[in-house]
Structure 1
Amino acid sequence: MFKKVLIANRGEIAVRVIRACKELGIKTVAVFSEADEHSLYRNIADECYPIGEPPASKSYLNMERILKVAEKAGVDAVHPGYGFLSENVKFADECHKRGIEFIGPPTNAIDVMGSKINAKKAMKTAGVPVLPGREEAIESEEEAIEVADEIGYPVIIKASAGGGGIGMNVVYNKEELVDTIQSTKSIAQSAFGDSTVFIEKYLEKPRHIEIQVVADKFGNVIHLGDRECSIQRRHQKLIEESPSPIMTEELRERMGNAAVKAAKAINYHSVGTVEFLYSKGEFYFLEMNTRVQVEHPITEVVTGVDIVKEQIKIAAGKKLSYKQDEITFRGHAIECRVNAEDAINDFVPAPGKIKYYRSPGGPGVRLDSGVFGGAEIPPYYDSMVAKIITYGLTREEAIERMKRALSEYMVLGIITNIPFHRAVIEEDNFLKGNLSTHYVEDNLCSFRKAMVNYALEAKDREKIFSEKVFHGNKKVIAIAGGLNAYITSLSNKNKDKYDKN
């Protein structure tokens, strides 16, 4: 097993990986930008080192700086978390060149799945269902028209190197096609440095269902069931649940087998997620995320498998801890991503300082977070505050526990999307499990009033709380604030010795 691991990430996922390492008896090394100097994860790691200015390009995406810290600290391995460098082939290669284990899949697997065209080719060859279309780059307008006519409108133009919903445009007729091809190529070149695009059949209102896979270095591959991720905004997931409301044992077996087949086709090891679009009883390969997913906790809750610890053990050369027939699915889990953003105003980011923080709790509630009272949500990165995960023996119980958890959660001083979550989980189509990737736009009118009411309630709660606590107990708050500052300064002094070594 590794003796020391560097976490090349920040926030909630850095906290999650540090916790897993502690349980495995592994020392941890954190890296932080100037914006994260007082972050929670920095203060719970065994060592910490600064890596630069706030912009990600000068810190969390600065490979050379991170690797120098890794060598200086004498780590055995690097865990990339999600985002940033987690699916960067060059970073994984550089780790290996320095004799440092990259806690993730082999570079050839990252490379194949990093190209949507190559991924689709590999999946089609492996017998995994793919959407109608060609597995080749579109080279001319005439070819684009030919492919679209062949598979039928609507079609979707995708950037081969794309991700996060960038470089994807839907076309409903021939008149739109040529202009959309050119604009998508331009966006792809600007965003990814690769203008390659391809065409697929567009499904009008599919579900987004993904399968968690786990594979070791000895050829053993299993799946941990499904997650429904259809509730999205601009292709970014907001609410996930496991299992999907439409899942049956027969469908899970079919999708699980397809996901395992996908992993084996690229000689995969580590944890990963095979994503599918589901429509009218059929499912089609969408992409594979070659890293741990943001929403992994809901799978952990319903299976009892610690995905992050399993990922670390696999990287250290251990065999899988489970066989497929040992994986059981019990109950239902839901995750709400709480972000610092204003859902009322088109989800605009709302960075700032948290004045007061109170976590939800009670039976069936888990909170994965990297913040605390007084923490800053900086404007430079993803605006995630926390992930609330609730569990119940039934979907109904998980929903009721989520309602309670959201009502208990207090994050004062910044605007969050909690009003959005509270409105959605009581909306009729959500309760019935009538979901698609267009859920938010299709149902916004029906839950917007509730969302506004919950936003007003949050403002009233902050006003009342501020008057009672911050105004009525100034001395107590001052003493508590001073004590907190003193403790933080002591902690930072202890950490500074690592910065200077």
Structure 2
Amino acid sequence: MGIDKDSLKEILLECKMLGFSDKQIAHLLKKDEMEIRELRKELNILPVYKMVDTCAAEFEAKTPYFYSCYEQLFYEEQNESIPSKKEKVIILGSGPIRIGQGVEFDYSTVHAVWALKEMGIEAIIINNNPETVSTDYDTSDKLYFEPLTFEEVMNVIENENRDGNLLGIIVQFGGQTAINLAMELYRKTDVKILGTSPESIHLAEDREEFSKFLKRLGIPQPEGATVYNEKEAIEVARRIGYPVLVRPSYVLGGRAMEIVYSEEGLRDYIREAVKVSPEHPILIDKFLEDAIEVDVDAVCDGEDVFIGGIMEHIEEAGVHSGDSACVLPPQNLSEDIIKKIVKYTVKISKGLGVIGLINIQFAIKDDTVYVLEANPRASRTIPYVSKSIGIPLAKIATRVIMGEKLRSMGYVGFVRSKYVSVKEAVFPFQKLPGVDPVLGPEMKSTGEAIGIDVDFGKAYYKAQLSANMKLPISGTVFISLKDKDKKYAPHIARKFKELGFNIAATRGTAEVIRREGIEVKVVKKISEGSTANILQLIQKREIDLIINTASGGKAKSEGYYIRRAAVEFNIPYITTIRGALSAIEAIKSVKDGSIGVYSLDEIECSIEKIEVEEDRE
């Protein structure tokens, strides 16, 4: 580099003490990150780990909670994290991501720690998300509060593996953040990734390779492609037809995901999305309108599969899975469709060579089961499914990752739950003035609630109640639907009328309802007058429930103001047709009988044998 070794050491040490990463230094010096890393190690510039002082220096701290820094003194004398002689496993957490996602992945991480401890293995966590239980000082045997980057993870690995007792690292409980590190660790080091291999993870993540994989298995998927510029995007969209679902690759929470209805909208999106993730391509899929979306969580040991739950989304495909309410077991899927979902789950899990957890998202349209994506990792629905069936999937997956077989544990097959469990998302809209509460492909929720009962209606009502959406059992329902949804208006109005509700609607929706002989009060839109319009009725609390679906593409301003008013005046609102139908069933169930109270200890389920016939094509 043109300078002597002592000067170079001083420069590198100063950079590290100022907080520069190896990657940043490599960029400045136009070198490779691994080259800088090896040079730094050669010059004995190594991080030391300090224990977090939870006793404010009044007493000696004993918490196994460490953070790294760079010292000018001798490494061994300053390092407070001394590795034990026990066999150990490192678990990568989810990092500082959205609270609504961090909590769910945190659940799986904590259960993995418990499983390892039960097996007599030291459990070490790397995670820098302070709001999680996994970063509590008494959860793991050791916690490194470090960024989830290649450099920091490797530093911890090298510190803990000085005696060769590290069995490996687990990446499948930290969501996309941890998964994204798997291939880099695999390619650049000899670190052992426990569970599903990095090659299989990459196969599921790589759009084109996964597409070829599904074709080999004879499993349908929506038509689509990976594109790298605006011209390719336009060509693909013209070929497969609008609407299309577009998103940057390798993102979490549906960030920057959008349903696009026109070429003009696609051009606008491409220009914005490239800024979101410039190093990755754009994914374009044919959007399946009015499809039923389904999530499956399963554990595979490479030979057998245990399907913990098939979750039917209550909102149609296109609403992010983290925002959509869902029900387990499915309520509107035929046995033939369920068998096909089970068959595809087994084929994909075994075909990918999954060792541990896998989440697969399906869409059902016209009795065809399409695979949207497969994630060989813990999903955000693992806590929900585990509580709904009374079986801790993350703990089972951890034991599988460490070499146990599902058959020896008695977990082979497909779970049939004896109770109905509904998961509902919790949204922060009251705390975020101006945000449109309409649901879409980008995740907005910050939490979730569960309702469990003997039937769907009661379970759905309890879930809504837990998510701060108390459905009324009498009063006035206001209905305003986009043109595409108006055909459902008479059915919805009639059902509410049978339940004793008064019906109010905007002119266009009211005309459709009246043609079916249903009494309805016409309410002015905001733009139709300053007196007795819908906004004023909401403000006077003359409306008890709002059903308003947004138009395709950008939500219309009229609907936006209605939805915002509902949030601000704490009036229950529904933005999807399936949500409205579910609310009708919930209100009817509650009016017909009281809701029950059940402990999670009462949850029962049965495990059915999976029979997958071999294809004869």
On the 8 A contact 1:128/1:261 being kept in 2, the answer is no
User: Per the alignment, in what secondary structure is the counterpart of residue 293 of structure 1?
Assistant: coil
Structure-2 change in CA distance of 1:338 and 1:170 (3 Å):
closer
Alignment of 1:433-452 (within 5 A): 451-452=567-568
Partner of 2:153: 63
Partner of 2:341: 255
Partner of 1:335: 423
**Equivalent residue letter for 1:264:** K
Q: Which runs of 5+ in 1 are unaligned?
A: 349-381, 407-417, 457-501
On the 8 A contact 2:322/2:445 being kept in 1, the answer is no
Structure-2 change in CA distance of 1:236 and 1:403 (3 Å):
closer
TM-score scaled to structure 1, two decimals? 0.63
Cα deviation 1:10-66 (Å, max 9, x = unaligned) = 664445533454353444334454x729967423324334434xxx567x9942244
Partner of 2:210: 119
- The answer as to 2:186 corresponding to 1:93 is yes
**Equivalent residue letter for 1:97:** D
In 1: Cα distance, 2:567 partner to 2:360 partner = 33
User: Per the alignment, in what secondary structure is the counterpart of residue 97 of structure 1?
Assistant: coil
Partner of 1:237: 322
Deviation at 1:271, TM superposition (A): 1.0
Q: Number of paired residues?
A: 394
In 2: Cα distance, 1:114 partner to 1:14 partner = 22
On the 8 A contact 1:344/1:452 being kept in 2, the answer is no
**Equivalent residue letter for 1:388:** A
- The answer as to 2:304 corresponding to 1:220 is yes
User: Per the alignment, in what secondary structure is the counterpart of residue 45 of structure 1?
Assistant: coil
Deviation at 1:274, TM superposition (A): 0.9
**Equivalent residue letter for 2:449:** I
In 1: Cα distance, 2:347 partner to 2:301 partner = 14
Deviation at 1:98, TM superposition (A): 3.4
In 2: Cα distance, 1:435 partner to 1:279 partner = 24
On the 8 A contact 1:31/1:42 being kept in 2, the answer is no
In 2: Cα distance, 1:152 partner to 1:282 partner = 19
Structure-2 change in CA distance of 1:36 and 1:72 (3 Å):
farther
On the 8 A contact 2:89/2:167 being kept in 1, the answer is yes
Q: Which runs of 5+ in 2 are unaligned?
A: 1-85, 95-101, 437-442, 480-491, 497-546, 573-617
Deviation at 1:120, TM superposition (A): 2.1
Deviation at 1:266, TM superposition (A): 2.2
Structure that is richer in helix per residue: 1
Partner of 2:109: 17
Alignment of 1:253-332 (within 5 A): 253-320=339-406, 321-322=409-410, 324-325=412-413, 327-332=415-420
User: Per the alignment, in what secondary structure is the counterpart of residue 345 of structure 2?
Assistant: helix
Partner of 1:108: 199
How many percent identity over aligned positions? 17
Partner of 1:29: 124
In 2: Cα distance, 1:70 partner to 1:39 partner = 22
Deviation at 1:162, TM superposition (A): 4.5
Cα deviation 1:220-252 (Å, max 9, x = unaligned) = 234333123465998361344323332332221
Structure-2 change in CA distance of 1:222 and 1:124 (3 Å):
farther
In 1: Cα distance, 2:550 partner to 2:369 partner = 14
Partner of 2:243: 154
User: Per the alignment, in what secondary structure is the counterpart of residue 417 of structure 2?
Assistant: coil
On the 8 A contact 1:82/1:293 being kept in 2, the answer is no
Structure-2 change in CA distance of 1:259 and 1:394 (3 Å):
same
Deviation at 1:401, TM superposition (A): 3.8
Alignment of 1:316-395 (within 5 A): 316-320=402-406, 321-322=409-410, 324-325=412-413, 327-338=415-426, 342=430, 345=433, 387-395=448-456
- The answer as to 2:462 corresponding to 1:397 is no
Cα deviation 1:276-307 (Å, max 9, x = unaligned) = 22334333221112211111133224444321
On the 8 A contact 2:358/2:377 being kept in 1, the answer is yes
Pick the aligned partner of 1:172 from 257, 261, 275. 261
Partner of 1:378: none
Structure-2 change in CA distance of 1:249 and 1:42 (3 Å):
same
In 2: Cα distance, 1:207 partner to 1:47 partner = 43
In 1: Cα distance, 2:270 partner to 2:444 partner = 32
Partner of 2:136: 42
Deviation at 1:90, TM superposition (A): 2.8
Structure-2 change in CA distance of 1:131 and 1:177 (3 Å):
same
Deviation at 1:86, TM superposition (A): 3.2
Pick the aligned partner of 2:288 from 203, 207, 226. 203
In 2: Cα distance, 1:163 partner to 1:261 partner = 25
User: Per the alignment, in what secondary structure is the counterpart of residue 345 of structure 1?
Assistant: coil
In 2: Cα distance, 1:211 partner to 1:436 partner = 27
Deviation at 1:343, TM superposition (A): 5.6
